[in-house]
Amino acid sequence: MSDKTVKSGVIFALLAYTMWGVAPLYFNLLHSMPAPEILMHRVVWSVVVLIVLVLVSGKVLQVKNAMVNPKVMGILLISGLLLAGNWLLFIWAINHGHLLDASLGYYINPLLNVFLGRLFLQERLATMQRVAVGVAVFGVTILIISYGQVPWIALVLALSFGIYGLLRKQVAVDSLPGLFLETLMMLPFALIYWFAFSSELSQLSTNSWSFNAILLSAGIVTTAPLLCFTAAARRIRYSTLGFFQYIGPSIMFVLAVWLFNEPLNEARLITFAFVWLALLIFSVDSWRTYRRNRRIVLTKPQ
């Protein structure tokens, strides 16, 4: 990959994870709505935004080409279901006092990305990366022993989004057309829920204009970071992409503790400490590897 491609991938990654980090502030505004109903609005208004983006960017032909490829559509269907499930659990966690669990899940995810990259993409796992994964596993184990139960919210969020990113990296579709088709396949389920199960809060004609504006903003809140993420995933190594993900959960951690006042007990703090240590080890190793490879490239005869 060229330096220009890598740099643009880094920028997209930074934007994606920062927007995800502050997303709980948005979803907290909708705490009076059930999580499935918020998910429904995310899907519906994301489709509207993505239709406009596809038309404006001239990606209609790419969408048509993907739609006639059964393999591509099958992968996008699976990735879309994973994404919807991840969205649903994330929204539920925010509005039920589990933002710290969500934060832990997204802290674990970059280390899981390293493992998935090794398992499915044959990306070499360096010694210190193995150490980092081991430290994180140890920290989660402490939490399991202390609580007597698996931190399922964190693990499901990490695994579902890790596999989603892996699938999107493998499918030969650009970020915008791919996201549009993923969301479009979720639209029938969202519309059925809207007309059969939604509450009065989804009846836009009876809401205030300010509340409707919040609902309609779900399209932008959803699509902007995802487009940046998928664009980043196609420009940089998948294991490298995980290097940036600590930005999002760090913002969530701060919001959970200092704004939403979620309890941070000793066992959970110890687990976070081990995961932070693992991320530090991984980050230092990644930086050293980058610097070493960079020197090799610069000293190589032209």
Q: Are 59 and 177 in contact (CB under 8 A)?
A: yes
Of 60, 99, 270, the closest CA to residue 181 belongs to 60
- The per-residue pLDDT for 192 is 96
Q: What is the pLDDT along the chain (302 residues), one digit of tens a residue?
A: 566 777 888 889 899 989 989 999 999 999 889 999 999 999 999 999 999 999 998 999 999 999 999 999 999 999 999 999 999 999 999 999 999 999 988 888 877 877 787 777 777 777 787 888 788 888 888 777 776 678 899 999 999 988 998 898 888 888 889 989 999 999 999 999 999 999 888 888 888 899 999 999 999 998 888 888 878 877 887 666 766 777 888 899 999 999 999 988 888 888 888 888 888 887 787 777 767 766 665 666 55
Query: Which domain covers residue 102, as residue numbers?
Result: 3-299
pLDDT at 296: 67
Tell me the DSSP string of the chain: --HHHHHHHHHHHHHHHHHHHHHHHHHHTTTTS-HHHHHHHHHHHHHHHHHHHHHHHT-HHHHHHHHT-HHHHHHHHHHHHHHHHHHHHHHHHHHTT-HHHHHHHHHHHHHHHHHHHHHHH-----HHHHHHHHHHHHHHHHHHHHHSS--HHHHHHHHHHHHHHHHHHHSSS-HHHHHHHHHHHHHHHHHHHHHHH--GGG-GGGS-HHHHHHHHTHHHHHHHHHHHHHHHHTTS-HHHHGGGTTHHHHHHHHIIIIIS-----HHHHHHHHHHHHHHHHHHHHHHHHHHHHHHHHHHS--
Half-sphere exposure for 255 (CA within 13 Å, toward CB): 24
Residue 166's pLDDT is: 87
Q: What total of structural domains would you count in the chain?
A: 1
Read off the pTM: 0.84
Q: What pLDDT, on the 0 to 100 scale, is given for residue 297?
A: 57
Which pLDDT value is given to residue 290? 65
CB 260 within 8 A of CB 117: no
